[in-house]
Amino acid sequence: MNLPTNPTAQAVDSVLIYIFGFSLILLLGITVVTLYFVIKYRRSKYPEPTSEVHGNFWLETVWTVLPTIIVLTMFWYGWTNYLGLRNVPEGAMEIKATARMWSWQFEYPDGRKERKLYVPVGTPIKITMTSVDVLHSFFVPAFRIKRDTVPGMESRVWFEATEPGSYDIFCAEYCGVGHADMMTSVEALSVADYAAWLKPAAEVTAAPPKLEGRQLLEEYGCLGCHSEDGSQLVGPSFKGIGQRKVRIDRDGTDELIKVDRDYLIRAIKEPSADIVEDYPPIMPAGDYLSDEEIDAIVEHLLKQ
Ligand code: CUA
């Protein structure tokens, strides 16, 4: 078994092994002694009690004090390591995480937004996170970190990758039909790779980029529910959406309408208004999108 080398995983694992180790020793010890007495003093051999003991000061003192000390060391060890998980080290790089139904978005100090969490190896990373809709939970098993994201509140967690690689991120709080789709990853890059990854962003910030519809779909996690290749996900596919007619339920009557600009804008801003038949009314409203972003998305969709 390869134990992880990153600091947060080591903090959690060492306490787990410590407590589990003591528990295992006690379990085995008590079981062995119990079995020994059960066999040795069985009734067929000793039908009557062989001695009468009313107390033993030293024995009782030892079995009271010793477990107390053991339990207190478990508390102390757990508490100090917990503080290590809570207190972000100096010089940590801060990345903002936003959870929404049903995707993660990571925002870098330079304004760059990504669906995967790219980090350099050897630098502590502080994640400041919130949710725009319901409770989600940011869970990275490889770093042994898990923290809820709460609407209207900021929570934080830190970790440091010590080896380059890809580490799973899950949502660990049931948040609706797309909960299982809230999977992404920490991409830990070597310092050189990270610098190379960072470079294009510096060029982009020099001239404000034209909003690109396809990229926005990706950033806001739309593609988690709407496929681009016609395959069936939670919501209707984007393939051919600009040339499609959809059947909607309006005031209890079916209506066949052409997908146009107005319909798409309405579908983003008030997704529960004109729902395409046979789909559940579960899309969260895109009221956090700017008008420019909606324009770019609609323009892109109409060309599909
Ligand atoms: Cu987000 Cu489960």
What CATH number is associated with residue 42? 1.10.287
The CB density around residue 264, as the number of other CB atoms within 10 Å, is 19
Residue 56 clears pLDDT 60, i.e. is over it: yes
What is the rounded CA–CA span in Å between residue 93 and residue 105? 16
Which pLDDT value is given to residue 86? 92
DSSP letter at 119?
E
Tell me the pLDDT band of 147, cut-offs 50, 70 and 90. very high
pLDDT of residue 161: 94
Domain range holding 36? Answer: 7-86
- Ligand 1 atom nearest the C-alpha of 176 is 2
Residues 6+ apart with CB under 8 A from 225: 102, 178, 181, 233, 234, 235, 283
> Ligand 1 center to residue 99 CA distance, Å?
8
How many Å lie between the centroid of ligand 1 and the Cα of residue 130? 12
Are residues 148 and 137 in contact, defined by beta-carbon separation less than 8 angstroms? Answer: yes
Q: Which SS3 state, helix, strand or coil, does residue 17 take? A: helix
In the chain, the number of structural domains is 3
- Rounded Cα distance, 117 and 188, in Å: 8
Q: What is residue 156's predicted lDDT score, i.e. its pLDDT?
A: 94
- Co-location of 220 and 240 in the same domain: yes
- How far apart are the CA of 37 and the centre of ligand 1, in A? 53
- Angstrom distance (rounded) from CA 147 to CA 102: 17
**129 within ligand 1 shell (Cβ under 6 A):** no
Nearest 5°: the CA angle 76, 78, 81 is: 105
Out of 159-173, 185-199, 266-280, least confident range: 266-280
Q: Kindly state whether residues 193 and 218 are assigned to the same domain.
A: no
136 lines ligand 1 (CB under 6 A): yes
Please tell me the distance from the alpha carbon of residue 304 to that of residue 228, in angstroms, as a whole number: 9
* Structural domain includes residue 231: yes
Q: For the chain, first and last CA: distance in Å? A: 49
User: Which of the four pLDDT bands, split at 50, 70 and 90, describes residue 274?
Assistant: confident
Last residue of a domain, one of 86, 106, 139: 86
**Residue 1 belongs to a domain:** no
Give 215-254 pLDDT, tens digit per residue.
888 777 788 788 888 888 888 888 888 888 888 877 777 7
- Retrieve residue 195's tokens: 């610098």
Pairing mode, strands 113-114 and 125-131? unpaired
Inside any domain, residue 133: yes
Q: Is the pTM of this model over 0.75?
A: no
Interstrand relation of 184-189 and 117-120 (parallel, antiparallel or unpaired): parallel
- 265 and 184 assigned to the same domain: no
Nearest-atom number in ligand 1 for the CA of 180 is 2
* Phi, psi at 240, each rounded to 5°: 70, 20
| Tens digits of residue pLDDT in 85-129 | 999 998 899 999 999 888 899 999 888 888 899 999 999 999 999
Q: Are residues 257 and 197 in the same domain?
A: no
- Take atom 1 of ligand 1 and give the residue whose Cα is closest: 136
- The CATH code of the domain that includes 135 is 2.60.40.420
Of 239, 245, 237, whose CA–CA distance to 263 is shortest?
245
Question: Is there a contact between 217 and 126 (Cβ–Cβ < 8 Å)?
Answer: no
Closest ligand 1 atom number to CA of residue 175: 2
